[in-house]
């Protein structure tokens, strides 16, 4: 510093009124800089802005007596930093208890709503013994085909549904329904393209390598195609918050199967295929209709073009990967179990209902924690938003500690709810077994495999629910990379451990891969969330 002292945070006057003037001039200049850019990165950006405003070294020396424009920029940067301290301080108003309760219940139900179509299907299976794409008395060949088609459809479409949801919500929140529609249908088209390519490859591969009989491969491809279509349309309805419409469509589909199969006496597979076709067509018509309707009602007046495809793809790639890996993680243990070569293996993979039954019941344990998770994440995000205006800059560590503590509390809540949910599911399974014994003389829990898978499946899903909560938190702070870094090794663990254990001990040990993978995801994602919360300002800035 030469003859002018510009120290951090203060412009130190030399003496007299001339210096006061210079200080005022500096403040005025800082105001001008802030008019141009609200949040300059550093003193170098300030220097660049000064230059763009016509300032140079000579002028800086002449008017402020500094060495060069960088020294002036440094002084202005300090001045701007100093102002942050005086940002208006405000506490967010707390909503009333009733309002808060109402919001909590609403959020909880929104979290649960994804399970409603599944609940309708399960109810149909219990009462009618069939649903839109399953039937209790199928042969093992057809059961294998449908199970494979279902798994394959989830894995194929998982990435696309994430991409649709991410981009769809992104535009809808901003009120750009036109863009939301375009991006949704773009990804639906890509989903279909992927589905067609995979179907052709499956047929070709099967023709060359004889994996399944022709009847089986045909069923696999048909169900795969229709289930894909259904998942893609569900996502469209989900972003438009029309889950109940979709649930009704599933109900309609089941009703159609009932008419064709029970009343018209058609073959169950044919009945299901016809119903799936009708439901698929209807759901796409409805998605299109809902989008058009919303567009007319809520679209902002500005016509905005879709961003370049490469940019869209680049931005959704992590979410796409997450969707793909998540479903891979969820189903890979089944593939490990069913492909274990033991007594009955006419094909490379062979459906084992005892394993499926255990996991099906265990999966129910996820429903309540998903609702709770929605509440928790909403709550946390609201607090994060409010905290931006609730802490002084110097209290930053206090803020971090607060959020880490709060996160731990939420973690305990989700864990307790998951454990409670598991207990409920276990009791429900026992109750259902009693009913089954009374009504049909059938003991569904006879098999050791079913009991073993049910137990470890429940434990796995408890841990998975914690991961899912963490994943939503990380997504909310735009950190999909951390989620991928968690789920990718977990998938590998699930695949490798499940595969080895199922081969070395018993096929039911594939569930241990799921267990270890879930444990890994729970621990690592908790670590990442904690790390993010410990430096939350940086991540929020990054997300903005």
Exactly one of 339, 373, 486, 525 binds another protein (CB under 8 A); which one? 339
Exactly one of 119, 140, 278, 420 binds another protein (CB under 8 A); which one? 140
Q: Cα–Cα distance between 489 and 528 in angstroms, integer?
A: 14
Tell me whether residue 237 or residue 453 sits nearer to another protein (CB atom). Answer: 453
Exactly one of 94, 296, 308, 394 binds another protein (CB under 8 A); which one? 308
* Element of type H or E holding 5: strand 5-7
Give the footprint of another protein on residues 401-460 (CB under 8 A). 437, 441-444, 446-447, 449-450
Q: What is the DSSP string of 155-222?
A: HHHHHHHHHHHHHHHHHHHTT-HHHHHHHHHHHHHHHHHHHHHHHHHHHHHHHHH--S-HHHHHHHHH
Q: Can residue 208 be called a binding residue for another protein (CB under 8 A)?
A: yes
Residue listed under structure tokens 């909403």: 378
Tell me whether residue 15 or residue 137 sits nearer to another protein (CB atom). Answer: 137
Q: Which span (16-24, 208-216, 376-384, 478-486) binds another protein, by CB under 8 A?
A: 208-216
Binding mask 309-328 for another protein (x = CB under 8 A): xx--xx--------------
Q: Cα–Cα distance between 397 and 391 in angstroms, integer?
A: 10
Minimal distance, residue 313 CB to another protein, in Å: 6
Size of the residue set binding another protein (CB under 8 A): 40
- Name residues whose C-beta falls within 8 Å of residue 241's C-beta, 6 or more positions apart in sequence: none
Exactly one of 49, 50, 143, 217 binds another protein (CB under 8 A); which one? 143
- Name residues whose C-beta falls within 8 Å of residue 286's C-beta, 6 or more positions apart in sequence: 233, 237, 242, 245, 249
At how many degrees (to 10) do helices 396-440 and 367-387 cross?
A: 170
Give the footprint of another protein on residues 245-274 (CB under 8 A). none
Q: Can residue 197 be called a binding residue for another protein (CB under 8 A)?
A: no
Tell me whether residue 13 or residue 353 sits nearer to another protein (CB atom). Answer: 353
Q: Is the dihedral of CA 377, 378, 379, 385 positive or negative?
A: positive
Minimal distance, residue 140 CB to another protein, in Å: 6
Tell me whether residue 309 or residue 416 sits nearer to another protein (CB atom). Answer: 309
Tell me whether residue 350 or residue 407 sits nearer to another protein (CB atom). Answer: 350
Q: Can residue 331 be called a binding residue for another protein (CB under 8 A)?
A: no
Q: Can residue 343 be called a binding residue for another protein (CB under 8 A)?
A: yes
Angle at alpha carbon of residue 237, lines to 231 and 239, rounded to 5°? 105
* Distance linking the first and last C-alpha atoms of the chain: 36
Q: Which span (139-147, 238-246, 281-289, 516-524) binds another protein, by CB under 8 A?
A: 139-147
Q: Which two tokens stand for residue 426?
A: 């276990």
Minimal distance, residue 447 CB to another protein, in Å: 4
Tell me whether residue 138 or residue 367 sits nearer to another protein (CB atom). Answer: 138
One-letter-per-residue 3-state SS of 280-324: HHHHHHHHHHHHHHHHHHHCCCCCCCCCCHHHHHHHHHHHHHHHH
β-bridge mates for residue 12, sequence order: 5
Give the footprint of another protein on residues 209-228 (CB under 8 A). 209-211
Q: Which two tokens stand for residue 519?
A: 């444990």
Tell me whether residue 17 or residue 139 sits nearer to another protein (CB atom). Answer: 139
Minimal distance, residue 224 CB to another protein, in Å: 20
Exactly one of 354, 417, 479, 486 binds another protein (CB under 8 A); which one? 354
Instruction: Kindly provide the b/e burial profile for residues 286-309, where b requires at least 16 CB atoms within 10 angstroms of the residue's own CB.
Output: bbeebbeebeeeebeeeeeeeeee
Minimal distance, residue 142 CB to another protein, in Å: 10
Binding site for another protein (CB under 8 A): 136-140, 143, 208-211, 308-310, 313-314, 339, 341, 343-346, 348, 351, 353-354, 356-357, 437, 441-444, 446-447, 449-450, 499-500, 503-504
């Amino acid at each position: 510093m030469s003859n002018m002292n510009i120290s951090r945070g203060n412009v130190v006057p030399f003496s007299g009124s001339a210096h006061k003037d210079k200080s005022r001039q500096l403040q005025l200049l800082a105001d001008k800089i802030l008019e141009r850019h609200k949040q300059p990165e550093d003193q170098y950006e300030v220097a660049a802005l000064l230059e763009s405003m016509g300032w140079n070294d000579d002028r800086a020396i002449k008017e402020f007596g500094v060495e060069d424009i960088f020294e002036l920029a440094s002084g202005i940067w300090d001045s701007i930093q100093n102002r942050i301290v005086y940002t208006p301080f405000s506490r967010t108003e707390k909503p009333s208890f009733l309002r808060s309760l109402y919001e909590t219940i609403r959020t909880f139900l929104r979290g649960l709503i994804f399970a409603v179509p599944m609940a309708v299907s399960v109810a149909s299976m219990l009462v009618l013994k069939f649903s839109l794409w399953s039937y209790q008395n199928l042969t093992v060949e057809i059961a294998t085909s449908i199970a494979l088609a279902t798994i394959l459809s989830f894995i194929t479409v998982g990435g696309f549904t994430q991409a649709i949801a991410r981009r769809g919500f992104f535009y809808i929140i901003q009120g750009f329904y036109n863009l939301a529609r375009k991006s949704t249908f773009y990804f639906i088209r890509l989903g279909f393209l992927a589905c067609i390519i995979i179907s052709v490859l499956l047929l070709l591969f099967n023709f060359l390598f004889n994996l399944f009989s022709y009847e089986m491969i045909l069923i696999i491809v048909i169900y795969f195609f229709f289930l894909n279509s259904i998942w893609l349309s569900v996502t469209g309805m989900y972003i438009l918050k029309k889950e109940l419409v979709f649930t009704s469509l599933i109900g309609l589909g089941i009703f159609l199967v009932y008419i064709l199969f029970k009343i018209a006496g058609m073959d169950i597979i044919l009945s299901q295929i016809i119903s799936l076709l009708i439901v698929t067509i209807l759901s796409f018509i409805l998605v299109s209709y809902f989008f058009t309707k919303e567009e007319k009602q809520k679209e902002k007046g500005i016509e905005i073009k879709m961003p370049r495809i490469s940019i869209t793809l680049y931005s959704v790639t992590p979410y796409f990967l997450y969707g793909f890996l998540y479903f891979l993680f969820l189903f890979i243990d089944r593939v490990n179990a069913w492909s274990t070569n033991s007594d009955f293996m006419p094909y490379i993979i062979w459906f084992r209902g005892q394993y499926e039954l255990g996991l099906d019941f265990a999966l129910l344990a996820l429903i309540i924690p998903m609702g709770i998770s929605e509440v928790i994440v909403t709550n946390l995000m609201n607090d994060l938003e409010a905290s931006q205006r609730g802490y002084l800059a110097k209290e930053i560590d206090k803020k971090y500690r607060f959020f880490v503590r709060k996160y731990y509390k939420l973690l305990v809540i989700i864990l307790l709810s998951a454990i409670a949910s598991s207990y409920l599911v276990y009791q429900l399974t026992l109750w259902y077994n009693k009913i089954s014994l009374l009504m049909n003389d059938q003991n569904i829990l006879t098999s050791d495999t079913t009991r073993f898978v049910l137990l470890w499946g429940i434990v796995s899903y408890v841990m998975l629910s914690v991961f899912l909560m963490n994943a939503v938190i990380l997504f909310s702070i735009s950190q999909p990379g951390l989620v991928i870094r968690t789920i990718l090794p977990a998938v590998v663990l699930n695949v490798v451990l499940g595969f080895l254990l199922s081969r070395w001990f018993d096929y039911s040990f594939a569930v241990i891969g799921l267990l270890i993978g879930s444990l890994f995801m729970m621990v690592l994602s908790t670590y990442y969330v904690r790390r993010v919360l410990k430096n939350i300002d940086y991540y929020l800035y990054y997300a903005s």
